[in-house]
Amino acid sequence: MEETKPIAEIEKEIVEEFALFDSWDDKYEYIIDLGKKLAPLAQEHKLDENKIKGCQSTVWMVANYRDGRVFFEADSDAIIVKGLVSMLIRVLSGQTPDAIIETPLAFIQQIGMTSHLAQTRSNGLLSMVKQMKNYALAYKLKNDVNG
C-alpha cells in the first residue's frame, strides 16, 4: 500500500506552491488549473444525496473507507470551486478518520484563502470541510462500533 504523507507535510507543500505566485490573479489561475486536473466524478455519484449543502455552486462529494483510511472524490459545476475541493482532497484523502477530524486545515488561512474568497465561496469551502470531517466521523464511529 502506498505510504500517505502526513497532513501537515501536504499543507506545507501547498503553502509553498502558493508562495510562488505574486498576485491573487495568478493564485486564482493556479486554483483553476487544479480544478481542471481533478478527475471528474462518475455520473452515478452526481445525485442529490451527494450534494454539499451550503455551497452556492453545485458540489458533489463521495467518500470511501478502506484499510483504515478515508478516500474522497468530488466534482463541481464551478471551476474555481473544483480547484478548492481538489486542494481539500489532496490534503485529506487517504488519511485516517482521526487525522481528518483533528486537523485544523491551517493551509487555508496560510495561503490567504479566507481573506480573498467572496463570502459565499468561503461559506462553501467551510461546508466542504465540514462534510469531509462528517464522513470521517461517520467512518470512525462505524469502526468503533464494529471494531
Going residue by residue through the chain, which has 147 residues, state the pLDDT in tens, using 9 for 90 and above: 457 899 999 999 999 999 999 999 999 999 999 999 999 999 999 999 999 998 789 999 999 999 999 999 999 999 999 999 999 999 999 999 999 999 999 999 999 888 888 888 888 999 999 999 999 999 999 887 776
User: Residue 120's pLDDT is what?
Assistant: 84
- Opening angle at CA 16, ends 131 and 61, nearest 5: 20
Of the candidates 55, 111, 117, 136, the residue annotated as catalytic is: 55
Rounding to the nearest 10 degrees, give the CA dihedral for residues 100, 105, 107, 109.
170
Q: Is 84 part of the annotated catalytic residue set?
A: no
pLDDT (0 to 100) of residue 3? 73
Contacts (Cβ under 8 Å, ≥6 apart) of 7: 91, 92, 95, 99, 103
Residue 139 grid cell = 467512518
Report how far apart, in Å, the C-alpha atoms of 24 and of each of 9, 18, 20, 21 are. 23, 9, 11, 8
